[in-house]
Amino acid sequence: MEKFTTLTATAAPFPQRNVDTDTIIRIERCTGTPKAELGKYAFEMARYLPGGAENPEFVLNQPRYRGAQILVCGEFFGTGSSREMAVWALAGMGIRCLIAPSFGQIFQGNCFQNGVLPITLPPASVAALMRQASAPGAGSFTVDLERQAVNGDIRFEIGARRKQMLLEGLDEIDLTLALEPKIAAFQDADRTRRPWIYGCTRS
């Protein structure tokens, strides 16, 4: 997956609470839609009018936020169904980072597996970033994963393993495969110590 190191990009305010995965991608789009095409269906019910035209009121359709790669979200973002396609849809429309007071647990894990950084911050910090993103003439936000900072001075926490995954562009399988030499060395030594574990002969 694509590495995440430092991202400087437009941040869009998305203050709605309890945005579930069905809001992010409708269940009917999750079957038969190629992964590469899911981005155009992200937030479909809010993003488009009944006739199919773009809804000008939807934040990511507004000129100043079009192409935003950071969403500053309300609490409990990504709750509901565990569908990984919700993250695929967000990534497909260009979203690389989500900032919220809280996330759905499975959704948050799926983000890390797909190169999207979900940052959990205290509600007051998220509210301040929401105001900044909403202000007229707001500039870009900078998210520095190595330093674990938003805009230079707002620190966030992330587990060491998940940080490594994003910095190196690795998923869980890739991280395990990177340990293959150590695993092989352990097995070689263990075969010497306990040969019966690895097979036996019958008389």
pLDDT in tens, 132-143: 999 998 889 999
pLDDT at residue 202, as a whole number = 47
Q: Encode pLDDT of 93-143 as tens digits.
A: 999 999 999 999 999 999 999 999 999 999 999 999 999 999 998 889 999
Element at 112 (helix H, strand E): helix 105-113
**Residue 48 predicted with pLDDT over 90:** yes
Extract the tokens encoding 59. Answer: 């934040």
Place of tokens 């036996």: 200
Give the bridge partners for 155, in sequence order.
Answer: 149
Closest CA to 17 of 78, 93, 94: 78
Tell me the CATH class for 6-171. Answer: alpha beta
**SS3 for 142?**
strand
**pLDDT-based confidence at residue 203 (cuts at 50, 70, 90):** very low
Q: pTM value?
A: 0.86
Which one-letter DSSP state was computed for residue 106? H
pLDDT at residue 187, as a whole number = 81
Where do the DSSP E strands lie in the chain? 6-9, 11-14, 70-73, 97-100, 117-120, 141-144, 149-150, 154-155
Mean of the per-residue pLDDT values for the chain?
A: 92
Taking phi over 0 as left and psi of -120 to 50 as alpha, with beta for the rest, 52 belongs to left
